[in-house]
Amino acid sequence: MLSLWEKMEKALSLLKNSLGIGLQNLPYPHLCVPNSTLLEYRQLEGRKGLSCPELFAREWNCGFPEWSSNVRYYRPSEYSHLSDAISCGVRGIIAFPVFDSAAPMHCRAVLELVTMEEKQDFDLETEKASQALQAADLRINLQPRLRPECFSRDQRAELTEIASVTRAVCQTHRLPLALTWIPCDYTWGAVDDISKSHVRLCNSGFLRTCELSIERTACYSDEEMQGFVNACEQLFLNTGQGAAGQACQTCLPSFEPDVKEKHVNEYPLAHHARKYN
C-alpha cells in the first residue's frame, strides 16, 4: 500500500502531465515552474512553516476548496503568507483539502496551487486536480449544489415567485445584485467507491444548523457581477455567516453596511466581495 507521501507524488506527476506546462518536480511533494520566483515563495513558506496557517486551517476544518483570483484581496490576518506571496509575484491561489480513501472522513493534506496571473476562476485546475488525485486513490470534496430535482413542484413555484419579486426590486432600485439563499443540508455517501453528495432542503426546525446554498436565479444589472455569482455558487454559507446567514439564524431581517470589511471567517465571500466592490 502506498504511503500518503507516495500518493501525493503520483498525483502531482499526473497533474503536471495533464496541465501540459513546463513544471519540474522538487523535493517535498510539489511542482514549480523552472527559474521562477514561485520557488522562492515555496522556500519562504517552508522556512516559516504553518505557525499561522489561516488559509490551511480553514481548509482543514471546512473540508472544501477555497480560492481567490488574486491574493491581494486577502488581508494579512486571513493569509499569513500574503506579503511573501505578493513579493514573489503570486496572484491566483486555490487550496484543496485532500482526503485518503483509507480515512475518508479526515483531511490528510492540503494541496495548494498558485499562479502568477490573476484568475477569473479555477474550474480547469479543479477538474485536473480532482482527476489526478482520484488516480492516486485520493480525492477532494467539491461543494454540492442544489439541483432542480432537489425541489418539489410547489417549491419550484415558490422560487419562481421569489425570483420575480427580487428581479422587480433589483430593477426598480437599480441594485447591482439580488440573490436567493436557500437553507439545505447535505450528506456524503459512497457509490461504487466514489464519494457522492446528496443535497436536500432543510425543514424549518433545522434552520439553525443548516448551510445556505445559492439558488441559480440571480438578478444583476452589472455584468461583472456574474463573477461574484459564480463564486457564490461554489460554496455554502453557514447559519450566522453574512447577512443571509444571520437572517436565517434569527428569522429576522439582517443588514451589513459593508461586507468587504468582514473577515473571511465571518463571511467566506469577503475576499470575492472586495474584488467586485
Statement: residue 107 has pLDDT above 70 = yes
CATH number of the domain where residue 68 is located: 3.30.450.40
Q: What's CA 9's distance to the chain center, in Å?
A: 24
Together in a domain, 33 and 65 = yes
Of the pLDDT bands very low, low, confident and very high (cuts 50, 70, 90), residue 202 is low
Q: Are residues 105 and 184 in the same domain?
A: no
H helices of 121-276, in order, are: 123-135, 153-172, 225-233, 242-250, 270-276
24-38, 92-106, 125-139, 209-223: which has the minimum mean pLDDT?
24-38
Write b or e for each residue in 77-116: b if 16 or more Cβ atoms lie within 10 A of its Cβ, otherwise e: ebbbbbebbeebebbbbbbbbbbbeeeeeebbbbbbbbbe
Please give the single-letter amino acid code of residue 256. E
Reading the block at residue 263, the C-alpha cell is 473577515
Last residue of a domain, one of 117, 139, 161: 139
The pLDDT of residue 87 is 92
- The verdict on 186 and 265 lying in the same domain is yes
Is the same domain home to 130 and 153? no
Mean pLDDT score, 33-41:
71
- Is residue 85 domain-shared with residue 30, that is, in the same domain? yes
pLDDT for 180 beyond 70: yes
- Asked if the model's pLDDT at residue 204 lies above 50, the reply is no
Q: Do 181 and 209 belong to one domain?
A: yes
Please give the average per-residue pLDDT across 212-222, as a whole number.
Answer: 75
Residue 264 and residue 227 share a domain: yes
Structural domains in the chain (count): 2
What pLDDT does residue 49 have? 54
Question: What is the tens place of the pLDDT at every residue in 47-96?
Answer: 555 544 577 778 777 788 999 999 999 999 999 889 999 999 999 999 99
At residue 197 the predicted structure's pLDDT band, cuts being 50, 70 and 90, is very low
**Which set of grid coordinates corresponds to residue 97?**
483539502
> Domain check: are 135 and 155 in the same one?
no
Instruction: Tell which of 105, 139, 173 closes a domain.
Output: 139
Q: 221 versus 52: which is more confidently predicted?
A: 221
Domain boundary among 139, 167, 188: 139
Q: Do 8 and 101 reside in the same domain of the chain?
A: yes
Question: Range of 244's domain?
Answer: 148-276
